[in-house]
Structure 1
Amino acid sequence: MPELARPAAFALAAALLLTGCGADVPTRQEEKTAARNGNGHYPVTIENCGESKTYDKAPQRVVTNDVGITEIMFALGLEDHMAGYVMPEDKGDLTTVPWKDGYRKTKWLSKGRINKELVIEARADLVFAGWNYGFSEGDGFTPAELRRVGIDSYLLSESCRNGRGKARGVMAPLDALYTDLRNLGRIFDVEDRAESLVAAFRKQVTEARAGAPKGADRPRVFLYDDGRDKPLTSGAYAGPHDIITKAGGDHIMKDLQDSWVTVGWETVVDRDPEVIVINDYSDTGAEQKKKFLKSYPPLADVSAVKNDRIFVLDYADLVESPRNPAAIGSLAAYLKKVTS
């Protein structure tokens, strides 16, 4: 808020009066310091995966896990609040992404699995991860365990458990992205930046949908992550659901009330996808996955395989990340092309 102009003499008199009463008059430098520290903004309270959390100040040493989560922080310009990130080497070329400067400025703490010892050594005050995005009871690395050693956690909204065992998903995938941007915007006092990103992403999605197939022209689409005996795919609450549907596809696993799930090949054959989207990551790359799909006998009569309609997206396009809107645009263009 801009300051109101006032005569110098009045300002001096007011200052002298306050000093005479024993009041502390902040200097201009103290006012600037207070503004930088966010006084007046904090405390802030947000809801994260059903839990209400209050922050008295912005965390200063955040450790993130995985590429999508890390790039959410970079998109918000929060590199200075990070102690580093944990990420395997199989996440593609990071030198050409819009947030490449974030990778240059921020320490790559480990190319292995995130764990308690690592974040303690990094002197983390907050870990931004998610269920199956770093947090796991099986590994003994959970928000509850971190609380015991004085480290806070923020859970990726795509990974929120919904009360049905360990099933994940409490909101539409893009809503999860927008929720995390806005929550982090409040936590780190960059709300304007968060709202600008959400507005830009919404516009990008709207433009992509305008040219996407509609109605009866919407092709049936299957997301293939990996797996030979049984495929790992996306349910209604993982990123690919919104990416497929908003790109003009009919997501054949939309009835699965979970995020990333394993199904049987017989279900895929029965639902006969007209397009298969491959998730490109790991040592088994897109070309190997495509070769498997085209040579696997049970899939020989599936429309997408017969017509060679297989489209590749990067891992970071498909998990919750700032790359989701662009992925919708590229898939929409492909679906429009193959259905025209």
Structure 2
Amino acid sequence: MLPRLATLLAGLTLSGLAQASATHYPLTLDNCGVPQTFAQAPERAVTIGQAGTELLYALGLGERLAGTSLWFNNVLPEFKAQNDQVERLADNEPSFEAVVGKRPQLVAVQFEWMVGAQGAVATREQFAELHIPTYLLPSDCEGKDNLVGADGTRLRPFKVESIYKSISQLAEIFDVQARGNALNTALQDSLLRAQRQLAGKDLAHTSALFWFSSADLALDPYVAGRQGVADFMLQTLGVRNVVESSEEWPTVGWETLARANPTWLIVARMDRRRYPADDYQKKLEFLRTDPVTRNMDAVQQGRIIVLDADAMQAGIRLFRGLEVLSAAFASGKAAQP
């Protein structure tokens, strides 16, 4: 698992801290094609999306958070004490008024469908009119069209460098560059550890399917498409995604998925309950009892991995997810929740 950031920061020498260049304000950054200017390091921030929230916690910026929203899983244990001090504005999308009411000097956003051209919360222009900078995680805008498909469509494969970029830019915005460098180093090391677990293992004929959720268990499931974050996880470990759509999370019929007969099934575990299938136990029951899915090799042979939903997103949990998947692929044993 990833070392905690406090351990990393403790290991930084005074000279290392001194070498990190300070931020010069006003700072202007290009964020997803929209320039954002910061007159000073934000004292109050609001996050819309768990990935951005935990990135700021990992950067030691929890005391700057005035509110959070849009959670898939409970907060990571190492951040619980800090998170307990921060108001949760909504489990899912907050209202524009709730965000603005916290008087933020930065709104960090995980998904463009929350704050964007058709934002469920608002457009970036609405925040700009109130002189509130918005920072959209580059992982959800670079090489992606969020106006096509329910969760957007990838125009080119997701790149893990977009996460490192988010960390570096947020660290620059808040003037904590040394912490950003340390966190990026830890994440890069974690990715390499996951790959090393599979060194010498032949996965040429290994395939997988990510099942995120379903609007109803009787309907087609939301599964991971090609070129997205979850697909990147498989590509990094040398495993093939059986879904061919370039949508981020397309719906695909179980008959089609059963014919593809993936070696592994990876199901999302969530603490949110927007849809019945958010409950991973209901997913497992469906897989084992449905007349189509119960005959899949992965179901019959117990090759079902339960993985936190936010480990399938572009944040620090992705790297923990890679290590969980790598361990399962290496041992042939499914990870238990």
TM-score scaled by length of structure 2 = 0.79
- C-alpha change, 1:43 and 1:140, in structure 2 (3 Å) is closer
| Change in CA separation of 1:256 and 1:176 when aligned onto 2, cut-off 3 Å | farther
Aligned residue number for residue 257 of structure 1: 246
Deviates further, 148-157 or 184-193: 148-157
| Distance verdict in 2 for CA 1:152–1:318, change over 3 Å | same
Distance 1:267 1:156, change over 3 A: farther
Select 2:135's aligned residue among 147, 151, 154: 154
Alignment CA distance shift 1:112-1:206 (3 Å) = closer
Look up the match of 2:327.
333
AA partner of residue 60 (structure 1):
E
Task: Decide which of 122, 126, 137 is 1:141's aligned counterpart.
Answer: 122
Q: Write the distance in 1 (CA, Å) between the matches of 2:171 and 2:264.
A: 37
Shift of residue 291 of structure 1? Answer: 0.9
Contact in 1 for aligned 2:113/2:146 (Cα 8 Å)? no
Work out whether 1:226 is the aligned partner of 2:213.
yes
Q: Which position in structure 2 is the counterpart of 1:273?
A: 262
- Return the offset for 1:57: 1.8
Amino acid at match of 1:322: I
Aligned to 2:197: 211
Q: CA deviation at 1:129?
A: 1.3
Aligned partner of 2:311 in structure 1 is 317
Is the counterpart of residue 182 in structure 1 residue 168 in structure 2? yes
After TM superposition, the structure 1 = structure 2 runs for residues 60-209 of structure 1, keeping only pairs within 5 Å, are: 60-88=43-71, 91-92=73-74, 94=75, 97-131=77-111, 134-135=114-115, 137=118, 139=120, 141-160=122-141, 162-163=144-145, 165-166=147-148, 167-169=152-154, 172-209=158-195
Structure 1 unmatched ranges of 5 or more: 1-34
What is the CA–CA distance in structure 1 between the aligned matches of 2:78 and 2:228, rounded to whole Å? Answer: 23
- The alpha-carbon distance between structure 1 residues 84 and 237, as it changes in their structure 2 partners (threshold 3 A), is farther
CA distance in 1, matches of 2:256, 2:23: 55
Gaps of 5+ in 2: 1-17
2:5 — aligned with what? Answer: none
Answering whether residue 294 of structure 2 is matched by residue 300 of structure 1, we say yes
Deviation of 1:258 (Å): 3.4
Q: Distance in 2 between matches of 1:263 and 1:79?
A: 39
CA distance in 2, matches of 1:237, 1:55: 33
Distance 1:279 1:297, change over 3 A: same
Instruction: Please give the secondary structure, in 1, of the residue aligned with 2:28.
Output: strand
Structure-1-length-normalised TM-score:
0.78
State how 1:38-53 maps to structure 2 within 5 Å.
41-53=24-36
Give the direction of change, closer, same or farther, for the CA distance of 1:140–1:54 in structure 2 (3 Å limit).
closer
Give secondary structure in 2 for the equivalent of 1:98: helix
Q: Is the deviation greater in 286-295 or in 147-156?
A: 147-156
> How far does residue 70 in structure 1 lie from its aligned partner after superposition?
0.6
Residue 250 of structure 2 aligns to a residue whose secondary structure is strand
Count the aligned residue pairs. Answer: 300
Q: Answer yes or no: is the 8 Å Cα contact 2:27–2:173 preserved in 1.
A: yes
Deviation at 1:67, TM superposition (A): 1.8
* CA shift for structure 1 position 165: 3.6
Using the TM superposition, give the Cα deviation of residue 276 of structure 1 relative to its aligned residue in structure 2, in angstroms. Answer: 0.5
Contact 1:69–1:320 under 8 Å retained in 2: no
Q: Find the partner of 1:243 among 228, 233, 241.
A: 233
- 8 A contact 1:238–1:319 mirrored in 2: no
Q: What are the superposed Cα offsets for residues 107-137 of structure 1, whole Å, 9 maximum, x if unpaired?
A: 3233353121001211122211133663362
Q: Aligned-pair distance for 1:263? A: 2.4
Structure 1 range deviating more: 272-281 or 121-130: 121-130
How far apart in 1 are the matches of 2:261 and 2:329?
A: 16
Structure 1 residues 225-265: Cα deviation after superposition (integer angstroms, max 9, x where no partner): 11231111222444322223334422223x43332322232
Q: Secondary structure at the match of 1:194?
A: helix
Cα distance change of structure 1 residues 127 and 275 upon mapping to structure 2, 3 Å threshold: same
